[in-house]
Amino acid sequence: MLTQYTCPGSIAIDDHDTLYALLPQRIARTGADTVIASRKTGPGRWEDITAGEFHRLVRAAAKGFMAFGIGKGDAVALFSPTRWEWGVLDLALAAIGAVNVPIYDTDSAAQAERIINDAEVRLAIADDRERYGRLESVSDDCPSLRRILMLDGNAMGALEGLGVSVPDERLDERIASVTADDLATIVYTSGSTGTPKGVELTHRNFLWIVRAGYDCLPEMLCERHPRLLLFLPLAHCFARFIQYCSIGTDDGVVGYLPDTRSLLPDLRSFGPTYLLGVPRVFEKVYNAASRKAGMGLKGRVFLKAAASARAWSRMRQAGGRPTPRQTAEHLAYEASVYRTVRGALGPNIRYVACGGAPLNEDLAHFYAGIGLPMIQGYGLTETAAPFTVTRAHDNVIGTVGQPAPGASVRIAEDGEVQLKGGNVFVGYHRMPQATAEAFTEDGWFRTGDLGEIDDAGRLTITGRKKDIIITAGGKNVSPIPLEHVIADCPIVEHAVVVGDGRPFVGALVTLDPEGLAAWLPSRGLDADMPLAEAAGLPEVRADIEDYVQRANATVSRAESVRRFVVLPERFTQDNGCLTPSLKVVRPKVARVFAAAIDHDLYGGR
């Protein structure tokens, strides 16, 4: 095992490169008539937008911002789910050197107020009446905020109308004044480990990782007419990064999907070649396929096919060659199962990319085994999303790949993963002390995550420093591996292992409504049973107990889960237990479910 690795090569960014420049540079290479984006206009219907039209809309919005009085370095907030206007406004702000301050569309009015005041936002743009109302309810307490616009209220038209008074020459002068090291955005962390902080990222930070993406994943991002269906929130750096990658490549097309209520039909109609998602998205696709197969003969065939896919992937990863019998079995399942599962993600799908949270290895091997390489990466808001990524030609499941050319990763003496690279942020907004604490004396960014580096420079994340549990007996326990195994249970949505300062390790378990609805009839029970009632069923507890024992088999007795509680409700953003990017907020879980921990797990001890 290595303790430090630097990927050979380098990524060059010119001092005058900006995010906006991705668009005119593409037009200069390929012309204005190439399709660059698609917007949904109805069920199964998409309207294409050419690069030239997209560019016209960006410049019109940029002029509107200037006419409104938005200067270089001024902050503008976008409070909206993913939609095509988000992409236009983002590049318009980049063009004039303004600072995009995204707000998650699920954030409360109080959360939006804190962000607006911390970043001194001058103009806010919401998508619909409901989010407009959230902003309006706190506007009196936001002294810097001059106005709120609404996309559904023709904000784009209003900006274009305002911008008529701004000559092209004046806009071009502003564009020319923006440099790679100017601040492009302040992104507030989702707060899974504490109070959200405003992460300052420059144009260079994002451009560096975009060009690294082209270098590391050309097969997915650049070749054979890549098409991306984007539904992750653009308030998250992960989605921003991939949007820039699509816009900046020669014939990339990004489809903007505001919600996932009709995701599977939208995948079929848009036909992406690659898909970006968090692990939960791909778990749901797998579970939907399993439920569709049912519990009879088709169900048994699906389970055998899934096991065969995982075994095929592991065999190929280990460098093995399939036997004639394995090949015949694989071809049979390809015709009866694998093609159908791939088809659920669209007729053109070639790659799936997963990030934002740890991914179960069995799930990754399943997708790889059915012919869909699952690209995995690791990064943080502080690194403008990905820092390491598995390559299409070196996709070792269980690792999160290598850093980009010229970037470095090292493991500190206490096991912490530390990073250096052109995409590492410049600091936390108005938090000099927190910024200083985030870096070592020799300039490495402290991630707070624990990991290992193999002899080829591939990083594996093994846990998080602050998540380490120390029991009353002094035993150090990493909860994440245990949680992953328990969460493999089809009826479990989340598992949180606890036990800090307690006599033994316990777990809180929440139920997955979709998995439960399919599982209950198989046990002769009502599929519509309320979640709280199902949580008390002995059958439910027995099924989860099996996965708890599987988890315990991977650790010593002192680290094993002795007791678990099935909670009668879910972790949600409303109760504060999930971030907008669907990460579990452990401190909040401990507070919200303190009674269950104290009395149900530990009997008041």
101-135 pLDDT, tens digit per residue, is 999 998 889 889 999 999 999 999 999 999 999 99
pLDDT at 500: 85
CATH 2.170.130.10 fits 25-178+225-273, yes or no: no
Q: Is the pLDDT of residue 221 over 90?
A: yes
Give yes or no for residue 176 having a pLDDT over 70. Answer: yes
Cα diameter, the chain: 73
Given pLDDT bands bounded at 50, 70 and 90, which one contains residue 193? Answer: low
CB 101 within 8 A of CB 275: no
Q: Is the pLDDT reported for residue 190 higher than 70? A: no
Q: How confident is the model at residue 556 (pLDDT cuts 50, 70, 90)?
A: confident
Q: pLDDT-derived band of residue 436, with 50, 70 and 90 as boundaries?
A: very high
Whether residue 191 has pLDDT greater than 70: no
The CATH architecture of the domain made up of 468-601 is: 2-Layer Sandwich (3.30)
25-178+225-273 against 279-347+350-465: fold identical: yes
Enter the DSSP assignment of 153: G
* Maximum average pLDDT range among 97-111, 421-435, 485-499, 555-569: 421-435
What is the C-alpha separation between 223 and 219, in angstroms, rounded? 5
Q: How far is CA 242 from each of CA 214, 247, 512, rounded to the nearest angstrom?
A: 11, 9, 29
Res. 283: pLDDT tops 90: no
pLDDT at 209 over 60: yes
Q: Give the residue from 354, 374, 348, 371 showing the smallest Cα distance to 268.
A: 348
Q: Is 194's pLDDT higher than 70?
A: no
pLDDT in tens, 495-517: 999 998 888 999 999 999 989 99
- Give the 3-state secondary structure of residue 469: strand
Tens of pLDDT, residue by residue over 343-400, are 999 999 999 998 777 778 999 999 999 999 999 999 999 999 999 999 999 999 999 9
Please report, as a single letter, which amino acid is at residue 428.
Answer: Y
d(CA 163, CA 64): 4
Distance (Å, rounded) from C-alpha 276 to C-alpha 227? 11
Of 14-18, 108-112, 389-393, 471-475, the least confident: 471-475
CB neighbours (10 Å) of residue 512? Answer: 22
- Where exactly are the structural domains of the chain? 25-178+225-273, 279-347+350-465, 468-601
The mean pLDDT of the chain is 93
| Percent above pLDDT 70 for the chain | 98
Q: How confident is the model at residue 597 (pLDDT cuts 50, 70, 90)?
A: very high
- For residue 58, pLDDT over 80 is answered with yes
- Expressed in angstroms, the distance from the first to the final Cα of the chain is 41
CATH number of 279-347+350-465: 3.40.50.12780
The predicted model scores a pTM of 0.86
